[in-house]
Amino acid sequence: MSFPVSDAAFEGFRIARERPKSVLFWALVYFLFSTLAIVLIIQVLGPDAALLFVQPPQSQMTQAETLRLFGVAGKLYAILGPIVLVFGSAMSCAVYRAVLRPEEEGLPLRFGGDEIRLVGLWILLALIVFGAIFVVAFVLTFFAALIGAAAGAAAAGVVSGIVFVGMICAMIWLSVRLSLAAPMTFAERRIRIRDAWALTKGHFWHLAGCYLLAAIFSLIVVLLGLVIAFALSAVTGGGLGAIGELIKPDMTSFSTYFSPVRWVYMAVAALLTAMQYVILMAPPAVAYQVLSAERAS
């Protein structure tokens, strides 16, 4: 059975065409989640939000300023982490459900056993991927240091570049080889990592090509959407100066952030994000469906 690269990459558009109300509902939920996240960030960080969102980064910072910046960033991740995990798992399972269990009815977005298993899987995968990357980086850096000590600074610079490229390639390879763990975990209602790894064996290039094509489609949709969002924001805000407000928002207070321009932008961004999830999450589900059927035959 040949792997349907183009069909899998286009699957997200099929879902959006057949379930437009679901996509709009997902966009509405994302809009509410993102609004909640912003409210929590402003409420918790307060004036410290300027360190991350308003003030330009400084090349030289004192130790106290660096520690304060890390503290603010830690609070930010503590706020966003649970929100991203909850919405991301619910949204991913909604897309998987549309592909793998189209007969299921009910709310287009939910949070139950499937979503909880996906959160657990993501945490495990993050530990595996970053642990593997750390080991690869350590080994490559060690050899780079040896080569630099023996051959000089120029050779060390070349090797450092190779190390960086090697880390990127290793992360891409691991991500593709583990990409079916999420749809497999959803479909089989058990966390699957080793089985997903085995299922992708011999299909790396097909999967990578499929995901790259889907990523290009997603980028095109986002770029077109941003053009529309900026145009609407300029009209709502009274000119091109509104675009600068979107690019560099003032998150120090509710009044400075939640302007009419921002609301328009957030609404368009919510729809774009929902489309991104559909476009990017559907291909792995189709890939699992095809490859698991191939394995069973």
* Whole-prediction pTM: 0.80
Q: Are 17 and 292 contacting, i.e. CB atoms less than 8 angstroms apart?
A: no
Q: Does 269 map to a domain?
A: yes
Q: Does 162 map to a domain?
A: no
**DSSP secondary-structure letter at 131?**
H
Q: How many domains does the chain have?
A: 1
Q: Does 125 map to a domain?
A: no
Rounded Cα gap, residues 274 and 283, in angstroms: 15
What separation in angstroms does the CA of 169 have from each of 158, 166, 220, 223, 268?
17, 5, 24, 26, 34
Q: Of 22, 187, 26, 14, give the one whose Cα is nearest residue 105.
A: 22
Region class of 259: left (phi > 0), else alpha (psi between -120 and 50), else beta? beta
Positions of the chain with pLDDT lower than 50, given as ranges:
1
Q: Does 104 map to a domain?
A: yes
Per-residue pLDDT tens over the stretch 89-99: 999 999 999 99
Q: Does 251 map to a domain?
A: yes
Q: Are 87 and 116 contacting, i.e. CB atoms less than 8 angstroms apart?
A: no
Radius of gyration of the chain (CA): 22
Q: Are 34 and 270 contacting, i.e. CB atoms less than 8 angstroms apart?
A: yes
Calculate the CA 272 to chain-centre distance.
Answer: 13
Rounded to 10 deg, the angle between the 204-237 and 11-18 helix axes is 50
Q: Are 276 and 218 contacting, i.e. CB atoms less than 8 angstroms apart?
A: yes
The most distant pair of C-alpha atoms in the chain lies apart, rounded to whole Å, by 66
Q: Does 175 map to a domain?
A: no
Region class of 55: left (phi > 0), else alpha (psi between -120 and 50), else beta? beta
What's the angle, vertex CA 9, arms to CA 272 and CA 171, rounded to 5? 85
Q: Are 200 and 179 contacting, i.e. CB atoms less than 8 angstroms apart?
A: yes
Q: Does 51 map to a domain?
A: yes
Which residue in this structure is represented by tokens 């949709």? Answer: 221
Torsion of CA 77, 83, 87, 89, to 10 degrees: 60
Q: Does 280 map to a domain?
A: yes
Residue range of the domain that includes 272: 5-119+199-296
**pLDDT at residue 198 in the model:** 93
Q: Are 50 and 67 contacting, i.e. CB atoms less than 8 angstroms apart?
A: no
Per-residue pLDDT tens over the stretch 103-157: 876 667 888 889 999 999 999 998 888 887 777 777 767 776 676 666 666 666 6
